[in-house]
Structure 1
Amino acid sequence: MSLNIVRYEHQGRAQWGVIRGSQITPVPGDLATTGDFIRGSSLPELSKLSGATLELAAVKLLSPVTQNQQFVCQGANYRQHMIESGMDPDVKSYNMIFTKAQSCIAPADTDVIKPHVVKFLDYEIELGLVLRKSIHGATTITDANLHEYVAGAVIVNDYSARDVQIPQMQFYKGKSFRTFGPVGPWLTLLDASSIAALKALQLKLTVNGDVRQNDTTANLVYGPAETLTELSSVQDFEAGDLLATGTPAGCALSVPSPAKQKLGALLPEKKKWEIFFKVQAKRTQYLRNGDVVEASISSADGSVDLGVQRNRIVAEA
C-alpha cells in the first residue's frame, strides 16, 4: 500500500492532508514538523481517513519535509553519472556522502533563485527517502527491514552551482543556496508491501520540455539499506530526516575523463580553473533565467507516483 500526503497552507495555517486526485482530506492535529507527522500517524489509519475535503486548487502546497530535518545526500550514485562526473566507476568503491543546508528546502513548485554570483546552475533529479524513526547507533538495515526505517519517498532536485562546488571544492556551499532543494509535491508513504517499489522507480527530468535525465532506481550503485547501515555508524538520524539518493546521468556539468584530470593536475592551479570555466561556458545545458524544470518519479504501473515538480529559474533580486 502507498498513500500520498501533502503539507499545505490554508487560511494561514500549515496542515497535513491525504491527497486523492484533486481532493485533500485534512489530517487532524497540530503536527508542526515532518518528524511530528511521521511519529503521530500510521499509514493504515491515514488510508481510512474520511470527512470534509478541500480542493487542491484552494491551498498552497508546502514542502513535505520541514526545514528542521537533516538533509543528507549521496553523490555519484549512478554508474553513468560517475562517468560524466569524471570518475572511473571501476575504481570508485566508496559511497560519497555530503549534506545540504536545511534552509535550502523549498516547496516543489517554488521559483528557484539563481544568485548573481552563479554562472553554471545545474539540475539533479533525485529520489528522496524520509525516515520513519530515529537511528542512534550502528544499525544493520536490510531490504527485509527497510520499511521499519523508511516511511516514504519524495522527489528532490539537488540544484547545484557548479562554479562554486567544483573550483572552490565546496559541495555544501555550492548546493545550499536558498531554494536549491525543492521537495515534493507530496510525500508518498510506503509499507512493507510497497517498499520494494523503491528499486524500480523511473526518474525523468526535462528543461523547457526537453528530456535531460531519464533513468531508473534499479541502477543505483549504493541502495538505501546499505547506505543507511553505513551512515548509522557515523551519525544520528531522527524521524522525518531526508536522504537524497543521487542523480542519474544527464547533468549540465562537463568534467574531463580521469586521464585528462591527471594531466590537468600537472597544470598550475590558475590555468587549470581557467580551462574549467572555458569548457563550462560552452555548455548550453546550464540553466538560465526563465527556464522551466520539471521532475517526475513513478513506478511503471503507477502504483507509486511521487508527482511532478515544476520550477522556474529566476534571477536574484
Structure 2
Amino acid sequence: MPINIVRFEHGDRTQWGVIRGTRVTPVPGTYVTTGELIRHTSLVELAAHDGDTLSLSDIKLLSPVTQNQQFICQGANYRQHMIESGMDPDVKTYNMIFAKAPSCIVPANSDVVKPRVVRFLDYEIELGLVMRKAIHGAVKVTDDDLHEYVAGAVIVNDFSARDIQIPQMQFYKGKSFRTFGPVGPWLTLLNIDDIAALKNLQLKLTVNGEIRQKDSTANLVYGPAETLTELSGVHDFEAGDLLATGTPAGCALSVPSPAKQRVAALLPEKKKWDMFMKVQSARRQYLNPGDVVEASIRTADGRVDLGVQCNRIVAEV
C-alpha cells in the first residue's frame, strides 16, 4: 500500500511523519532534506512506525519537497493541452523541459502572492514525481524499473505569470516568483506494486468551485520512464528532486491558432505583444486576489490519493 509522508512543524521542531487519517505518527530521526529522508528510510520501516500520534490540527504542514531540491518541469505534455496550444501531439517529437526556482516551493495550502508587476496569473495542476535515487549519467528507464528511480508522487501547482513568461520569453522568470510552487500536502511513497497507478491518476482543479482542469495521466504524451531516460542524458538528478510532468487543458492562457501565430510573427514586435495583451485581458479565467484554487490528484478507487491543495490568491503588499 502507498504511504503518505508529511513534513511538519510542531513546537520548535521540524519533523517528518506518517499520516493516517487525521493523525500523524512522527518518524524518529532528523532528516533535513527530502533526499535525506528517502535515502535513509524505507517503505517497510515507515509503515511499521507506531506509538504516540499528533492531530493534524496541532501541527503546521510544510512542503514535503525541501527548497534545496531541483524543480524540473515538462511543458505541453497532455494531448488536449497541446492541441489547445496549437500543437499536434502526433507529430511533436520533442519533450519541452524547463525549470522553476526551488525558492518558489511552499506548503500545499499557502497563500499565493500575485506580484504587483503581474497582470495575468495562471494556474497549472501537475503530477509531481520525487526521485528515489541519484542519476549521474545516461540511463534507460522503463516502466518495469521505474520504481527504482521514482520514490513517490505529490501535487504541484505551477502558477505562472503569463505576461512575463510569454512576451519576455522567460519561462523560468515567469514561473518562479515566490509562492508560485505549492507542493503537497503530503508525499505519497509508492512500492513496486503501486507504481503503475501513475498512469491512471485523475487530476482536477477548480477556481472558486468551478472546474477548470480535469484529465487523466493516461493522456500524458511523454511518460515518466521516457522522460527520465531523456533527461538523464542532459543533467544529474539527486534523491528528492522534483519533476513536474505537465498540466492538462483548461488554463487561463489563450493561445492563438497556428494561422494567427504565423500572421503575428510578421507584425512589428510591439504590435504583436500589444495584441497578445489585449486578447489575454479579455480572459476572465485569470486569477485575482480573493480567488481560491483547489487541486486534487487520486486514482478512481482512492487507493492512491495525493490529497488536496487549497490556495488563496492575495495581492502583494
Normalising by the smaller structure, the TM-score range is over 0.9
1:196 aligns with 2:196: yes
- In 1, Cα distance between the equivalents of 2:64 and 2:93? 33
- What runs of 5+ residues in structure 2 fail to find an aligned partner? none
Amino acid at match of 2:74: Q
1:124 aligns with 2:109: no
Count of residue pairs brought into register by the alignment: 317
Work out whether residues 125 and 205 of structure 2, in 8 Å CA contact, stay in contact via their aligned partners in 1.
yes
RMSD (CA atoms): 0.6
2:72 match: 72
Work out whether residues 87 and 257 of structure 1, in 8 Å CA contact, stay in contact via their aligned partners in 2.
no
Q: 1:91 to 1:268 in 2, by over 3 A?
A: farther
Alignment of 1:91-106 (within 5 A): 91-106=91-106
Amino acid at match of 2:263: L
- In 1, Cα distance between the equivalents of 2:152 and 2:210? 29
2:241 match: 241
Q: What secondary structure, in the 3-state scheme, does the structure 2 residue paired with 1:37 have?
A: helix
Deviations 1:290-316 (A, max 9, x none): 000000000001000000000000000
Q: What secondary structure, in the 3-state scheme, does the structure 2 residue paired with 1:83 have?
A: helix
Work out whether residues 71 and 99 of structure 1, in 8 Å CA contact, stay in contact via their aligned partners in 2.
yes
- In 1, Cα distance between the equivalents of 2:97 and 2:109? 26
Work out whether residues 85 and 253 of structure 1, in 8 Å CA contact, stay in contact via their aligned partners in 2.
no
2:251 match: 251
1:86 is displaced (CA, Å) by: 2.8
- In 2, Cα distance between the equivalents of 1:4 and 1:106? 18
1:17 match: 17
1:107 match: 107
- In 2, Cα distance between the equivalents of 1:299 and 1:179? 27
2:284 match: 284
- In 2, Cα distance between the equivalents of 1:174 and 1:180? 9
1:146 match: 146
Q: Between the two proteins, what is the percent identity of the paired residues? A: 77
1:130 is displaced (CA, Å) by: 0.2
1:93 is displaced (CA, Å) by: 1.5
Alignment of 1:1-317 (within 5 A): 1-317=1-317
Amino acid at match of 2:63: S
Deviations 1:133-182 (A, max 9, x none): 00000001000000000000000000000000000000000000000000
Deviates more, 1:76-85 or 1:28-37: 76-85
1:40 is displaced (CA, Å) by: 1.0
Deviations 1:82-128 (A, max 9, x none): 12223233442210000000000000000000000000000000000
- In 2, Cα distance between the equivalents of 1:212 and 1:273? 26
Work out whether residues 122 and 251 of structure 1, in 8 Å CA contact, stay in contact via their aligned partners in 2.
yes
- In 1, Cα distance between the equivalents of 2:289 and 2:81? 25
Q: What secondary structure, in the 3-state scheme, does the structure 2 residue paired with 1:106 have?
A: strand
Amino acid at match of 1:267: L
Deviations 1:208-265 (A, max 9, x none): 0000000000000000000000000000000000000000000000010111101110
- What runs of 5+ residues in structure 1 fail to find an aligned partner? none
Work out whether residues 154 and 187 of structure 2, in 8 Å CA contact, stay in contact via their aligned partners in 1.
yes
1:79 is displaced (CA, Å) by: 1.2
Q: What secondary structure, in the 3-state scheme, does the structure 1 residue paired with 2:274 have?
A: helix
Work out whether residues 105 and 181 of structure 1, in 8 Å CA contact, stay in contact via their aligned partners in 2.
yes
- Relative to the length of structure 2, the TM-score reads 0.99
Runs of 4+ deviating beyond 6 Å: none
